[in-house]
């Protein structure tokens, strides 16, 4: 008898869930409007008749669409709105610019979310054609993937609770708990003995780190200032960025290591859009809103 | 619980009063615990209607629905495949040919001892590295990695359950079948397996519940099943500057529990039906670990105790 | 082969981490499992209901979701600022406790009825009957399923790797992300897990032999 009752209860919950999901509901994005609304988004004119001797590009042209790996949990950079099912942010704009110069319109782009620790696997295996998502260029990663850019230079910084005045920079982290993403560069930096952090927490999403910061489990979240400023802008009353960058994080577009032609094409595309002002517009409409200043990247971009 | 009543006397007047006092105290303690949790959460503003309002949005509902569908999709395919693989492996492990037996035993033992998470991850990397040769596009590597991972692990466990079931069929059945002139395959497919499946159905279904729960391991390879999509939902929505993790977790948990209970209810229903049929072979109670005494053969009882506990994964 | 030698410290840390979290959650699961099993067979209805709810809720929730609860809901109620190890231990321990509870409960039902009846007739109370007569005898039948449950716990500890707990899966993932051949890593990690699971089943076989008394 008891089992029959629990089964009935289960059926009721299922039925409720089914009816709740079946019939519409309010449209638009749920939650705070400020963060999700008004992020700059633009469609760029695709180039015609692109003919390059690139294996990746040829395969994409054959399929008729290009697959770009992006991040989904970084406001103003690479952000996925579960309500509207759209990606938005600075990195998304960069991806669209590059895709346009390779001959793909916005409609022909398939964005896929790639978590930080799966980037190398996804890129080197060809699961994504290229990757744009706060991807720091460094020597170790260059062994596995190719980079175009840098198209932006960020720096590792700290996000703390607004009322917490004890943390003024990386030097004041002695005995504090710091959260970041598994395998990210700032985390490897902050783990060095000179900073004396008591404990590091490694989760798989920044939003989870921010939640841990808000509930008091950690004292600071570390990663690139661009990402942190996005989160601070979402919660201006609760969080602030220390603004003492302690590393240089040049962001690149990650792609197949062996496809030199594609690398050159992406580099050219970036230079092109930096020169024609698309880059600045995209920056001011996204990252600029979270308080970051605009600095035009140096062109020509390195090709070494 | 037939054993419970044996553990204490039918209460007399004194004990009745005492039990009543304990009941009140126990109820108070449980209520206090629940009250404390509710109080702490509401102090954090987790019962604020605004935080629950997110579930009124069509986009949010759709992403939950898509998550449920993706979970059920993987579960359906993995369930069917794991049962097929289970039958094959069980028969192979009971084979008369030594190499076949060894191969099956090695396969079962290997995949039962490695965490499913690692199996899924390894298969995913393998699929990714060979995706062009295999002709997999976009999200297919994630999907198939999860399906194959769930299949090899749960197939191995189901194989052990079925083997225990086959061994539990009275020896006379097999001997009678051979005496009738049936061949090995015929004996297996028409006599042994049907009876084994009936005897083990509840255990098989509780292992299916495990399969359903384990689809949530897909988060590690970014397959967008229920848990992955609600986690993203919670992370990408802010209400008053905070992520609605508590709300999303409560809703997701309720959906998972409802799905699992529905499956368990099926197991119980089948168990009751199975008891009505007079086959002479007892049905092992679902999830009742260690209570394999219902099985006729002693060997099978041991094997069943071993395998039913595997549903503890 | 070189993979193991190059990353021996990480491998060792991962191996010890898996051992530590498994052992710690096994203790929690055992203590809570026995307690809740006691609740489930007790004469007091609210405790019985609590026990049933405990087992139903925990058994039907994916472990990953329990980890999310431990990391994002529990700190709001208790244990603010607890380390990931403690929270992971809590999630794994509570999850496993529901299986331990069910194993013990069915173990209790295999103890011959006459034993409990005899205990009652000489005037033992419910707790005394359970503690002195029934549970010690149930131990024997409970050992084999408990062994399987702890082996499952060892494997489940891999989920903790995604939640900031150092263990073997984290090691496997680190190397895989660095681009080593997955087959080799897989083999080493599998061997490490086999070592732990063999040790567990060995210990339990030993216990079974020591407690195996002819009835």
Residue A12: pLDDT band (50, 70, 90) is: low
Q: What's the pLDDT score for residue C29?
A: 94
Please report which confidence band the pLDDT of residue B24 belongs to, taking 50, 70 and 90 as the band edges.
Answer: confident
ipTM of the complex: 0.80
Distance from CA of C163 to the nearest CA of B (A): 11
Summary mean pLDDT of chain B:
79
Q: Looking at chain C from residue 60 to 119, which residues have their Cβ under 8 Å from any Cβ of chain B?
A: 60-65, 68-69, 72-73, 76-78, 96, 99, 102-103, 105-111, 113, 116-117
Q: What distance in Å separates residue C29's CA from the closest CA in chain B?
A: 12
3-state secondary structure of B85: helix
Q: Is B27 within a domain?
A: no
Per the structure, the count of domains in chain C is 1
Question: Which residues, in sequence order, are CB contacts of B305 under 8 Å at separation 6+?
Answer: B289, B290, B292, C144, C145
Share of chain A above pLDDT 70, in %: 85
pTM of the model: 0.80
Confidence of residue A32 (pLDDT cuts 50, 70, 90): low
- Check residue B4 and give its pLDDT: 45
Answer whether residue B228 is part of any domain: yes
Indicate whether A8 pLDDT > 70.
Answer: no
Residue B68 structure tokens = 């449920």
Mean pLDDT over residues A140-166, rounded?
86
pLDDT at residue A6, rounded to an integer: 56
Residue C181 covered by a domain: no
CATH number listed for the domain at residues A156-241? 3.40.190.10
Domain A34-154+250-290 classification at class level: alpha beta
Residue with tokens 């096994």: C26
pLDDT band for B287, please (50, 70, 90 cuts).
very low
Residues B285 and B199: their CA atoms lie apart, in Å, by 9
- Is C9 part of any domain? no
What's the token pair of residue B112? 């039962």
- Chain B neighbors of C183, CB-CB under 8 A: 122, 126
Which subunits have 3 or more CB–CB pairs within 8 Å of chain B? Answer: A, C
pLDDT score, position B203: 81
A:B CB pairs within 8 Å? 148
Each as own residue / partner, the long-range contacts of residues C78-82 (CB below 8 Å, 24 or more positions apart, any chain) are C78/B40, C80/A215, C80/A216, C80/A217, C81/A177, C81/A216, C81/A217, C82/A217
> In which residue are the tokens 């331990």 written?
C100
Say whether B26 and C50 touch across the interface (CB within 8 A). yes
Percent of chain B with pLDDT over 70: 82
The three-state secondary structure class of A181 is strand
Domain of B114 in residue numbering reads as 66-312
A21-30, A259-268, B215-224: least confident range? A21-30
Residue from B235, C173, C86, C16 nearest A199 by CA? C86
C85: helix, coil or strand? helix
Angle at Cα C19 formed by Cα C13 and Cα C20, nearest 5°?
85
Structure confidence at residue B218 (pLDDT)? 87
Q: Which of B41, B46, B310 sits opposite C152 (nearest CB)?
A: B310
Is residue B94 included in any domain, yes or no? yes
- Give the pLDDT of residue A7: 55
Main-chain dihedrals φ then ψ at residue A286, nearest 5 degrees: -125, -85
Spatial distance between the Cα atoms of A71 and A89, rounded to a whole number of angstroms:
10
| Closest C-alpha to B30, from C143, C52, C78 | C52
Q: Using the beta-carbon criterion (under 8 Å), do C177 and A204 form an inter-chain contact? A: no
Segments forming the whole domain that contains residue C64: 19-165
Bridge pairing between strands A66-70 and A130-131: parallel
Quote the number of domains for chain B.
1
pLDDT tens per residue across span B174-233: 889 889 888 888 888 888 888 888 888 878 888 888 899 999 888 878 788 898 888 888
Annotate B220-287 with three-state secondary structure. HHCCCCHHHHHHHHHHCCCECCECCHHHHHHHHHHHHHHHHHHHHHHHHHHHHHHHHCCCCCCCCCCC
Q: A289 CB contacts (<8 Å, ≥6 apart)?
A: A38, A39, A76, A233
Among all residues of chain B, which has the CA nearest to that of A10? B258
What confidence category does residue B294 fall into, taking pLDDT thresholds of 50, 70 and 90? very low
The CATH number of whichever domain residue B190 belongs to comes to 1.10.3720.10
Name which of A6, A202, A217 is nearest C75 (Cβ-Cβ).
A217
**pLDDT of A39-70, one tens digit each?**
788 888 888 878 888 888 888 888 888 999 99
Give me the mean pLDDT over the A279-284 stretch.
87
**pLDDT class of B5 with cuts at 50, 70, 90:** low
Angle at B206 between CA B204 and CA B207, to 5 degrees: 65
What was the pLDDT predicted at B110?
83
Q: With a cut of 50, say whether residue B295 has pLDDT above it.
A: no
| Lowest-pLDDT choice from A165-174, B79-88, B263-272 | B263-272
Q: With DSSP H G I counted as helix, E B as strand and the rest as coil, what are the percentages for chain B, rounded to 5? A: 80, 0, 20
Strand intervals (E) in chain A:
66-70, 73-74, 78-81, 86-88, 109-113, 130-131, 146-154, 156-161, 177-181, 199-203, 220-224, 239-241, 249-255
In this structure, what CATH number is given to the domain that contains residue C84? 1.10.3720.10
Tens digits of pLDDT across chain C (215 residues)? 566 677 778 788 888 888 999 999 999 999 999 999 988 888 778 888 889 999 988 988 889 899 988 888 888 787 766 788 888 999 999 999 999 998 888 888 778 888 888 888 888 888 888 888 888 888 877 888 888 888 889 888 888 877 877 778 777 777 776 667 777 777 788 888 888 888 888 888 888 888 765 44
Assess whether the previous peptide bond of A300 is cis (omega < 30° from 0). Answer: yes
Cβ contacts (< 8 Å) between C174 and chain A: which residues? 183
Q: Is residue B187 assigned to a domain?
A: yes
A214 touches chain B (CB under 8 A): yes
Cβ-based interface (< 8 Å): residues of A facing C: 2, 6, 117-118, 120-121, 124, 140, 143-144, 177, 182-183, 199, 201-204, 208, 211-212, 215-217
| Distance (Å, whole) CA C35 – CA C210 | 24
Apex CA B225: angle with CA B220 and CA B228, to 5°?
55
- Listed in order, the ranges of chain A carrying CATH 3.40.190.10 are 34-154+250-290, 156-241
- H or E element that contains B35: helix B13-43
- Domain assignment of residue B158, yes or no: yes
The per-residue pLDDT for A10 is 55
| pLDDT for res C92 | 93
**Does pLDDT of A177 surpass 70?**
yes
Note whether residue C153 is domain-resident. Answer: yes
Say yes or no to pLDDT of A171 above 50: yes
The candidate with the shortest Cα–Cα distance to A254, out of A95, A47, A86, A89, is A95
- Whether chain B has a CB inside 8 Å of the CB on A96: the answer is no
Which of A211-215, B70-74, B132-136, C193-197 is predicted with the least confidence, judged by mean pLDDT?
Answer: B132-136
Q: Which residue has the higher pLDDT, C210 or B295?
A: C210
Query: What is the reported pLDDT for C3?
Result: 64
């Amino acid at each position: 008898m008891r089992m029959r009752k629990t089964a009935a209860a289960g059926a009721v919950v299922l039925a409720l869930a089914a009816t709740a999901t079946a019939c519409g509901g309010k449209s638009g994005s749920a939650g705070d409007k400020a963060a999700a609304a008004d992020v700059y988004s633009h469609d760029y004119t695709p180039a015609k008749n692109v003919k390059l001797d690139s294996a990746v590009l040829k395969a994409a042209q054959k399929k008729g669409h290009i697959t770009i790996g992006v991040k989904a949990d970084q406001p103003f950079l690479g952000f996925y709105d579960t309500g509207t099912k759209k990606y938005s942010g600075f990195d998304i704009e960069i991806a669209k610019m590059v895709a346009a110069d390779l001959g793909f319109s916005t409609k022909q782009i398939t964005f896929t979310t790639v978590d930080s620790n799966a980037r190398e696997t996804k890129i080197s295996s060809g699961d994504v054609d290229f990757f744009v998502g706060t991807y720091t260029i460094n020597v170790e990663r260059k062994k596995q993937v190719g980079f175009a850019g840098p198209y932006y230079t960020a720096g590792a910084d700290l996000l703390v609770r607004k009322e917490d005045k004890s943390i003024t920079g990386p030097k004041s982290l002695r005995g504090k708990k710091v959260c970041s993403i598994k395998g990210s560069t700032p985390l490897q930096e902050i783990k060095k003995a000179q900073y004396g952090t008591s404990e590091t927490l490694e989760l798989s999403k920044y939003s989870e780190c921010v939640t841990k910061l808000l509930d008091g489990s950690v004292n600071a979240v570390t990663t690139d200032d661009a990402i942190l400023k996005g989160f601070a802008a979402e919660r201006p009353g609760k969080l602030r960025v220390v603004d003492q960058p302690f590393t240089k994080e040049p962001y690149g577009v990650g792609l197949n290591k062996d496809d030199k032609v594609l690398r050159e094409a992406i580099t050219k595309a970036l230079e092109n859009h930096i020169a024609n002002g698309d880059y600045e517009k995209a920056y001011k409409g996204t990252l600029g809103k979270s308080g970051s200043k605009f600095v035009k990247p140096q062109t020509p971009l390195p090709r070494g | 619980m037939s054993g419970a009543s044996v553990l204490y006397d039918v209460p007399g007047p004194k004990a009745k009063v005492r039990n009543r006092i304990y009941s009140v105290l126990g109820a108070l303690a449980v209520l206090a615990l629940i009250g404390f949790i509710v109080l702490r959460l509401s102090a954090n503003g987790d019962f604020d209607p605004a935080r629950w309002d997110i579930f009124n949005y069509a986009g949010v509902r759709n992403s939950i629905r898509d998550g449920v569908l993706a979970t059920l999709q993987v579960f359906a395919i993995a369930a069917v495949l794991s049962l097929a693989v289970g039958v094959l492996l069980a028969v192979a492990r009971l084979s008369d040919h030594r190499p076949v037996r060894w191969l099956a035993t090695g396969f079962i033992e290997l995949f039962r001892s490695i965490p499913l998470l690692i199996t899924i991850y390894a298969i995913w990397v393998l699929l990714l590295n060979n995706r062009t040769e295999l002709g997999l596009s976009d999200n297919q590597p994630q999907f198939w990695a999860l399906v194959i991972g769930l299949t090899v692990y749960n197939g191995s466990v189901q194989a052990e359950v079925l083997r225990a079931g086959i061994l539990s069929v009275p020896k006379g059945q097999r001997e009678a079948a051979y005496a009738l002139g049936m061949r090995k395959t015929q004996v297996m497919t028409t006599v042994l397996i049907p009876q084994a499946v009936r005897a083990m159905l509840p255990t098989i279904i509780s292992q299916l519940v495990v399969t359903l729960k384990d689809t949530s391991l897909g988060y590690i390879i970014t397959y967008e099943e229920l848990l992955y999509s609600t986690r993203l939902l919670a992370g990408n929505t802010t209400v008053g500057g905070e992520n609605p993790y508590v709300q999303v977790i409560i809703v997701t948990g309720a959906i998972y529990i409802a799905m699992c209970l529905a499956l368990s209810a099926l197991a119980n229903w089948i168990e009751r039906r199975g008891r009505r049929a007079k086959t002479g072979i007892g049905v092992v109670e679902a999830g009742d670990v260690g209570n394999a005494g219902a099985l006729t053969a002693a060997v099978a009882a041991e094997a069943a105790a071993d395998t039913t506990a595997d549903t503890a994964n | 082969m070189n993979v193991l030698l190059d990353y021996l410290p990480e491998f060792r840390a991962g191996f010890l981490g898996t051992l530590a979290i498994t052992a710690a959650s096994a203790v929690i699961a055992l203590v809570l499992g026995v307690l809740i099993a006691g609740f489930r067979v007790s004469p007091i209805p609210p405790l019985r209901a609590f026990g049933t709810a405990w087992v139903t809720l925990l058994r039907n929730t994916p472990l990953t979701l329990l980890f999310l609860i431990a990391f994002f809901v529990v700190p709001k109620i208790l244990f603010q600022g607890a380390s990931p190890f403690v929270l992971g231990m809590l999630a794994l321990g509570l999850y496993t406790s529901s299986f331990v509870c069910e194993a013990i409960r069915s173990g209790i039902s295999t103890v011959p009825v006459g034993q409990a009846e005899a205990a009652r007739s000489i005037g033992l109370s419910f707790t005394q009957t359970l503690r002195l007569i029934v549970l010690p005898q149930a131990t024997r039948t409970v050992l084999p399923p408990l062994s399987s449950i702890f082996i499952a716990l060892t494997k489940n500890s891999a989920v903790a790797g995604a939640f900031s707990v150092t263990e073997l899966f984290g090691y496997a993932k680190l190397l895989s992300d660095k681009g080593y051949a997955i087959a080799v890593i897989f083999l080493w990690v599998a061997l490490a897990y086999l070592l732990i699971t063999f040790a567990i089943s060995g210990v339990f076989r030993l216990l079974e032999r020591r407690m195996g008394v002819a009835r």
